[in-house]
């Protein structure tokens, strides 16, 4: 069995903040030795809603090259890192809909014993970052997955301040993703890769 870990970074982003985090997560995982797939989930919003927001429409156009995730990508992966903006303190419906399509894999036990983690972005400082990640991890518990949160396991996490997963506050679009947050996201991708590598090696021993 190959010991190279396969990591799927599966995200939803409307105006691009979560996409920026996803790229840094993927970069961190790749530098730690993983084979990575960076994947978006299917957009559910109507075209008129997207067109009414210039940032949203622009991001959709800019990310046409990113492949949409399928259940097969989750089967392929040893570790999955999900990204979602906060929607009323919860996971965005687009990502939740994708999670809900995984019932067949769950019934076959194919989602269990994988490593999972998450990251998020909100418009305001107390806009539901922690509750969104905790809600996401509820799904992982049902999968029988292993949550690998970043915790306070690296100095960058004391600067970032969120042990549940990387998070960004964009202040209604006025604050771009910072270098500290990108470093935190890369660290999260690397940590997930390290733990998944150790788990894969242990299971195959």
Q: What is the pLDDT of residues 37-83, one digit of tens each?
A: 999 999 999 999 999 999 899 999 999 999 999 999 999 999 999 99
| CA gap 151, 145 in Å, rounded | 17
Q: Is 76 exposed, middle or buried, given 0-12, 13-18 or 19+ CB atoms closer than 10 A?
A: middle
Q: What is the CA radius of gyration of the chain?
A: 16
Average pLDDT rounded to a whole number, residues 142-152: 98
Q: Domain 6-204 carries which CATH code?
A: 3.40.50.360
Mark 122-135 as b/e (b = at least 16 C-beta within 10 Å).
bbeeebbbbbbbbb
Q: Write down the pLDDT at residue 2.
A: 63
Q: Write down the pLDDT at residue 203.
A: 81
* DSSP H helix total and E strand total for the chain: 9, 7
Average pLDDT score over the chain: 94
**pLDDT over threshold 90, residue 171:** no
Q: What is the model's pTM?
A: 0.96
């Amino acid at each position: 069995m190959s010991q190279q870990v396969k990591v799927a970074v599966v995200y939803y982003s409307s105006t691009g903040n979560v996409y920026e985090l996803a790229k840094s997560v993927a970069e961190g995982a790749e530098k730690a030795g993983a084979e990575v797939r960076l994947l978006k989930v299917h957009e559910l919003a109507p075209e008129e809603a997207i067109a009414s927001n210039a940032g949203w429409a622009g991001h959709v156009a800019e990310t046409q090259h990113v492949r949409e995730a399928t259940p097969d990508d989750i089967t392929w992966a040893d570790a999955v890192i999900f990204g979602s903006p906060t929607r009323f303190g919860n996971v965005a419906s687009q990502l939740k809909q994708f999670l809900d399509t995984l019932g067949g894999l769950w019934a076959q036990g194919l989602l269990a014993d994988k490593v999972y983690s998450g990251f998020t972005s909100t418009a305001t400082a107390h806009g539901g970052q922690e509750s969104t990640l905790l809600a996401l991890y509820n799904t992982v518990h049902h999968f029988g997955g292993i949550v690998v949160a970043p915790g306070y396991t690296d100095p960058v996490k004391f600067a970032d301040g969120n042990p549940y997963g990387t998070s960004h506050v964009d202040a209604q679009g006025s604050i771009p993703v910072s270098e500290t947050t990108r470093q935190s996201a890369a660290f999260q991708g690397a940590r997930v890769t390290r733990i998944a590598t150790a788990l894969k090696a242990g299971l195959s021993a």
